[in-house]
A and B are shown apart, each in its own frame.
Chain A
């Protein structure tokens, strides 16, 4: 069974600064997908970024980028130029391939962006 670990329950960053959220996972699979989801106070789960394990290049979406280290089973999220709207709960998630594959979530990191 896969496990996903987020070791930072809470983090704080000042507006315009950069912050990195950590995530590690454990799996015996070689092909899989990794995700970061954001859950703002509205509680709507929003996909932030997705990474396929077979791709060595780190995924990037505007101010969001990941550092994917497959051998170390690490998948951190970097948020650049933090904005107040980035305040949310961030969940790291793992999914094996297949149409009925389930997401395994980490426990989440609560990020607070301050002025």
Chain B
């Protein structure tokens, strides 16, 4: 199956700083990628749909200025958590659409 990578796998940052998470489709091109957030023992919550060459589409309740998404190429989407706070600590997962959605391994973010 198709492979999606995410970097970093885990990150610890201080409150007020910004963190960038990269999502790459390694062996296919993806015009559409998705960003999810997952709290412990819960399901995946879709944050936004990342579209190559255009603005991301955010789900209701997700702050656009807080979670900046850039999809500059057909193989790379980035999520930047700006001015991170402890409540932003979570597990972030991306996926890329081929004939189905393939998921990255996730990024664990801890904001101190």
Residue B76 is within 8 A (CB to CB) of chain A in the complex: no
Which residues of B lie under 8 Å from residue A103 when comparing CB positions? 34, 44, 46, 95, 101
Contact B105 A44 (CB under 8 A): yes
Q: How far is the CA of A101 from the CA of B101 in the complex (A)?
A: 10
* Chain B positions 74 through 112: 1 when the CB is less than 8 Å from some CB of chain A, otherwise 0: 000000000000000001010101001111011000000
> What is the minimal beta-carbon distance from B23 to any residue of chain A, in angstroms?
13
A73: CB under 8 A from chain B? no
B1 within 8 A of A: yes
Counting CB contacts under 8 A, is B25 at the interface?
no
Contact of A107 among B43, B49, B101 (CB under 8 A): B43
Instruction: Tell whether A44 pairs with B106 under 8 Å between CB atoms, given A102-B34, A106-B43.
Output: yes
Per DSSP, chain A at the interface is loop
Interface string of A98-115 (1 = CB under 8 A from B): 011111011110100000
Chain B residues in 8 Å Cβ range of A108: 42-43
Q: Which of B42, B91, B100 has the most CB of A within 10 A?
A: B100
CA distance A75 to B74 in the complex (A): 33
Checking B41, B49, B91 against A102 with a beta-carbon cut-off of 8 angstroms, the contacting residue is B49
> Is A47 on the interface with B (CB-CB < 8 A)?
yes
Q: Give the complex CA separation of A33 and B97 in angstroms.
A: 13
B31 within 8 A of A: yes
